[in-house]
Amino acid sequence: MLTMTATTAAAQNRPVDIPRQIYGKVQVVDATTFEFRKSGQTVRLAGYEAPRLEQTARSDGVDWPAGQVSRAWMVLRTLGQDVNCAPIGRDTNGVILAHCFVGETNLAATAVAEGIGYAFNYRGEPQVPAYFDIERRARGLGYGVWSSPDLLPPWLYTASSANGDKARSATEKPDSGLPLPPPIGPDKSLSLNDTHGG
């Protein structure tokens, strides 16, 4: 279990058109995205990417459904749990980007550590350097996606599937440290529009 000890400046500088916190039960859409059941808000994990649902991997001569495993991992981590997200912006499709937690466990950092997905951000999205450090360790140990040398990272897989479309790449200067979960409970500085219950 990974716990967080520092907040990021990105959470403090979030755009005014997104809530400060989204909290409650979720429905997993894919390995990086879920929808909050009560509010209907869709959130994608910042700084994290996972294999596409249809992607398969081959490790030690065994084929396995990498995309489905990544999605199932996220379902198991969030099933019956309240997810606490600190939104930091929106992606190019308008989906809220956030650092999300179950308790003090950072979902993206833990997924990266266990080889479920990759530290990655698309152009214009904030980086979390700590995720890249965690990924280097998982890669060195050959965990999960790193056990399959022929598995294309999802951004390259999507680009190759789209017949040569260019993959988006990261060019922003990274933030430092792992994000902290937002506080749970009443906060007099939050308005009713800022917090969404589960």
Q: Read off the pLDDT of residues 118-172 as tens digits, 9 standing for 90 and up.
A: 999 888 888 889 999 999 999 999 999 999 999 998 888 877 776 444 433 333 3
Q: Where are the domains of the chain?
A: 9-180
Report pLDDT for 13: 58
Give me the mean pLDDT over the 5-21 stretch: 62
Q: Is the pLDDT of residue 23 over 60?
A: yes
Q: Hey, which CATH number is domain 9-180, 3.30.430.20, 3.70.10.10, 2.40.50.90, 3.10.450.50? A: 2.40.50.90
94: region left, alpha or beta (phi > 0 left; psi from -120 to 50 alpha): left
Residues of the chain by 3-state class (helix, strand, coil), percent to 5: 25, 25, 50
Contact indicator for 10, 88 with CB cutoff of 8 Å: yes
Q: Read off the pLDDT of residues 55-113 as tens digits, 9 standing for 90 and up.
A: 999 999 999 999 999 999 999 999 999 999 999 999 999 999 999 999 999 999 999 99
Higher pLDDT, 12 or 42: 42
Place of tokens 């917090």: 195
Question: Three-class SS of residue 180?
Answer: coil
Cα separation, 15 vs 37, whole angstroms: 23
Report pLDDT for 18: 86
Contact indicator for 166, 155 with CB cutoff of 8 Å: no
Q: Helix count (H) and strand count (E) of the chain?
A: 5, 12
